[in-house]
Amino acid sequence: MRTLTLIMAVACASLAAAQSTVQPHPPLGLDVSLPAAKRMAGANEFIRAGEWDAAIKSLEQLKQDFGGELIAVAPNRYLNVREAVSATFASLPTPGLAVYRRRIDPSLLLQFEDAAARRDRAMMQQVLRDGFAGSSGDDALDWLAEDALERGDLDAARIWWTALLPPPPAAERNASLILRYPDAARTPAEIYARLVLCSLLQGDRARTARELRFFTSRFGDVHGDLAGRSGLLSELLAQLLRESSQWESPGSRRQPGPAVSRVLWSQPLNVGNPSDSEREAADNSQIATEAPGVVPAVWEGTVLVSSSAGVRALSVETGKARWPAGPDDDGTLDAVTTPWPSPSLPTIGTSRRSGQVAGGCYYTRIGPLVSVPSIRGPETGPSELKCFDLLAEGRPSWSVASDELPELSSARFSGPPLVNDGRLYIAVRRAQPQVESGLACFAASTGQLLWSRRLCAALASPPVARHRIDDDVLASGAGLVFQIPGPGVITACDAVTGELRWAVTYAPIATAAPHAESVALLYDGGRLFVAAANLNQLLALDACDGRQLWAAPRSGRIRNLLGVAEGRLIAAGDQLWGFDVERGTAWRFGYDDPEGHGYGAGALHAGRVYWPTREELFVVDAGTGGLRERLSLAGPAGLGGGNLVIAGDCLLVASETHLTAVGPLKR
């Protein structure tokens, strides 16, 4: 009999070291500039000697010559040279900072005044790029924060105000460079108060309460102005927190989750899984233990499914075709054939078939599951990005094939696309002349390639025996796009220009498991959370510069990061975890018996986590890990676990073979 375990408010047990030495994919190498590192070392020698003019001239020339390249600023952490130079200027001793400001302030002040007069956000950001540590830098940061607050971009406001805080102690910042303004006119109390306000306006009451306790303990007697009010700042924030419960609209208040009392409908997915002979020939029978790959998306009563058989649009209410589409009228918007890899190309892993709804369109990737050098296996053909206009009954709007673009010659798209702020991002893998990994950005409205960026390349040839199914995952936030382009590397690129802003490396553990390189990334509130099967910890990084905030050992495989609720990062995989976002301590819920491990991505709704195994569905409190409901999925309809998506008062379950809706009937 399986034993259900629940461990609350304790750190997860360490993962035992892997015994296998199988390395399914070679490590990838970053492009780090050694000449830039030598020049930076020379500038630091001038700084230590107090030779300010020489140091400043050397740093300015370094920025001009190597601005977009990476430089090591701490063990396993790399910054864009431009930001490393700005952080170095900001950390100069007072005499050196005075010399730097005499040199830069006259032109920077004119630049700031022009940007403020025009109310031009791009010009104001240029002020910071040209002279972050100049005397006008704090005014520019404050202007950008207030502008972001007015626009409702609270993440951006948080980033700009955080840059005005004094740098943390060396131990907290990994004894390395951090971009903070050296002597802001605003006091730390004023800045912290605005950061608490950002959390409150984002609707994160748990984070607000936690930050307010810290603020009161440190700045409880400080008076000031906030949100059009004057008084004791801690009391103003406490009053706003009390009032915030009335700000929510009736539709946004916490509602009970969907009922799962009955099966409403079920449709075959036609996912094109391998046949028994293909499984045996590819020595890939372990794939039966992997979670399903299809993840539905929902838009206005429509569920969209991307699989190896094509793209379908179904009614959430009935499961029937959402619009008359395709010769069989089965909801098919686009029929494709993506065969399982040839038996001569044995693979490891499971592909996640998913797309994203944004701006009334559905975006997805269609194409081969793997990319391999032609000398090591059969050609797998190009992959495509496709956009379907949901406002026009799902008609195809545009498509781009990887082999159509000279910039992506011999490359293939990998993983699901990410759409944000009018841009579509997709991971790119190139198999020849050497194995490379990168990122490409397209205009979401037209499919025009805006930029592509090579991130790293293989240091060794890939193994012949097995090839990993390409399943890159992206995340975005803080004006950056995050990716794990290869084992042991985490990168952040500028979302607009594609410039590589920072990178972090780690030593990947060896594993023989078929899910060896599964990855989960999540951005929330200035933090980037990272989980990978070849990493025996869950990481929390500062999203702006890659500094490690905490690392929590994990006691099992994490496949999905579902979101943040009640101050907890909800992670799902073999078990279910709720990591405290500030400290990394966690509750853990689930079976220790592998037969009862989680099966498919769960769902987070109204402070509750819906988490499936193969046979059961658990509803768990996000804050405490306490069990709320336990429901059997086995029944006459043959319903089992799978990837969950909440659609109104229904729960959609995408299993290996079927898409099923459970919940109350809509009348």
Q: Which pairs from 575-581 meet CB under 8 Å and 24+ separation?
A: 575/5, 576/602, 576/609, 576/611, 576/618, 576/620, 576/625, 577/12, 577/538, 578/609, 578/622, 578/623, 578/624, 578/625, 579/529, 579/538, 579/552, 581/207, 581/524, 581/525, 581/527, 581/540
Please report whether residue 4 resides in a domain.
Answer: no
Please report whether residue 255 resides in a domain.
Answer: no
Q: CA dist 41 to 47, 62, 476, Å?
A: 10, 11, 33
Q: How confident is the model at residue 662 (pLDDT cuts 50, 70, 90)?
A: confident
Please report whether residue 341 resides in a domain.
Answer: no
Residue 213's Cβ-count burial label (10 Å; 0-12, 13-18, 19+) is: exposed
> Taking 50 as the threshold, does the pLDDT of residue 249 lie above it?
no
556, 587, 616 — which closes off a domain? 556
Q: Domain holding 276: CATH number? A: 2.40.128
- Whether residues 172 and 206 fall in one domain: yes
d(CA 555, CA 489): 22
> Taking 80 as the threshold, does the pLDDT of residue 433 lie above it?
no
Residue 205's Cβ-count burial label (10 Å; 0-12, 13-18, 19+) is: middle
Lowest average pLDDT, out of 183-192, 321-330, 562-571, goes to 321-330
- Whether residues 100 and 222 fall in one domain: yes
Please report whether residue 264 resides in a domain.
Answer: yes
Residue 274's pLDDT is what?
Answer: 47
Q: Higher model confidence: residue 419 or residue 290?
A: 419
- Whether residues 244 and 264 fall in one domain: no
Residue 534's pLDDT is what?
Answer: 78
Query: Could you report the per-residue pLDDT of 603-652, keeping only the tens digit for each?
Result: 999 889 999 998 889 999 999 999 998 888 876 456 788 999 999 888 99
Q: Higher model confidence: residue 141 or residue 566?
A: 141
Residue 197's pLDDT is what?
Answer: 95
Residue 447's pLDDT is what?
Answer: 96
Residue 268's Cβ-count burial label (10 Å; 0-12, 13-18, 19+) is: exposed
Asked whether the beta carbons of 17 and 50 are under 8 A apart, the reply is: no
d(CA 649, CA 59): 59
230, 250, 270 — which closes off a domain? 250
Torsion of CA 249, 254, 255, 261, to 10 degrees: 160
Torsion of CA 110, 111, 114, 120, to 10 degrees: -160
Least Cα distance to 402 among 376, 423, 427, 419 occurs for 427
Q: Higher model confidence: residue 414 or residue 273?
A: 414
Percent of the chain with pLDDT over 70: 79
Q: Higher model confidence: residue 351 or residue 648?
A: 648
Residue 158's pLDDT is what?
Answer: 94
Residue 399, H or E segment: strand 395-401
HEC-encoded secondary structure of 474-497 = EEEECCEEEEEEECCEEEEEECCC
- Whether residues 71 and 210 fall in one domain: yes
- Whether residues 167 and 206 fall in one domain: yes
- Whether residues 165 and 215 fall in one domain: yes
Asked whether the beta carbons of 646 and 290 are under 8 A apart, the reply is: no
d(CA 325, CA 239): 54
How does the average pLDDT of the chain come out, rounded?
83
Asked whether the beta carbons of 8 and 587 are under 8 A apart, the reply is: yes
Overall average pLDDT of the 331-339 stretch: 64
Q: Domain holding 505: CATH number? A: 2.40.128.630
Please report whether residue 613 resides in a domain.
Answer: yes
Q: How confident is the model at residue 379 (pLDDT cuts 50, 70, 90)?
A: low
Residue 59, H or E segment: helix 52-66
Query: Tokens at residue 326, please?
Result: 């395709």
Please report whether residue 609 resides in a domain.
Answer: yes
Residue 19's pLDDT is what?
Answer: 29
Query: Could you report the per-residue pLDDT of 436-476, keeping only the tens digit for each?
Result: 899 999 999 999 999 999 998 876 655 544 455 557 889 99
Residue 4's pLDDT is what?
Answer: 52
Residue 502's beta-bridge partner residues? 79, 492
Query: Could you report the per-residue pLDDT of 102-158, keeping only the tens digit for each?
Result: 999 999 999 999 999 999 999 999 999 999 999 999 999 999 999 999 999 999 999
**Backbone region of residue 359 per phi and psi (left: phi > 0; alpha: psi in -120 to 50; beta: other values):** left
Least Cα distance to 412 among 430, 439, 438, 432 occurs for 430
202, 229, 250 — which closes off a domain? 250
Q: How many domains does the chain have?
A: 3
- Whether residues 42 and 82 fall in one domain: yes
HEC-encoded secondary structure of 183-207 = CCCCCHHHHHHHHHHHHHHCCCHHH
> Taking 80 as the threshold, does the pLDDT of residue 510 lie above it?
no
Q: Higher model confidence: residue 660 or residue 375?
A: 660
CA 434 to chain centre: 27
Please report whether residue 161 resides in a domain.
Answer: yes
Residue 36's pLDDT is what?
Answer: 95
Range of the domain at 532: 473-513+516-556
Least Cα distance to 574 among 513, 506, 653 occurs for 513
> Taking 70 as the threshold, does the pLDDT of residue 280 lie above it?
no
- Whether residues 120 and 243 fall in one domain: yes
Please report whether residue 544 resides in a domain.
Answer: yes
Q: Higher model confidence: residue 39 or residue 403?
A: 39
Residue 129's pLDDT is what?
Answer: 93
- Whether residues 505 and 629 fall in one domain: no
- Whether residues 71 and 214 fall in one domain: yes
Q: Higher model confidence: residue 414 or residue 55?
A: 55
Query: Could you report the per-residue pLDDT of 59-83, keeping only the tens digit for each?
Result: 999 999 998 899 999 889 999 999 9
> Taking 90 as the threshold, does the pLDDT of residue 218 lie above it?
yes
Report the SS3 class of residue 257: coil
**Of the spans 22-31, 101-110, 206-215, 263-272, which averages the highest pLDDT?**
101-110
d(CA 420, CA 424): 7
Q: Higher model confidence: residue 274 or residue 213?
A: 213
- Whether residues 275 and 214 fall in one domain: no
Least Cα distance to 498 among 423, 444, 434, 431 occurs for 423
Q: Looking up tokens 């809509």, which residue turns up?
A: 666
Residue 12's pLDDT is what?
Answer: 36
Query: Tokens at residue 566, please?
Result: 């009640």
Residue 667's pLDDT is what?
Answer: 37
Q: What is the pTM of this model?
A: 0.89
Within 10 angstroms of residue 635's Cβ, the number of other Cβ atoms is 11
Within 10 angstroms of residue 666's Cβ, the number of other Cβ atoms is 12
Q: How many CA atoms lie within 13 A of 327 on its CB side?
A: 1
Q: Domain holding 110: CATH number? A: 1.25.40.10
- Whether residues 502 and 588 fall in one domain: no
Amino acid making up residue 545: D
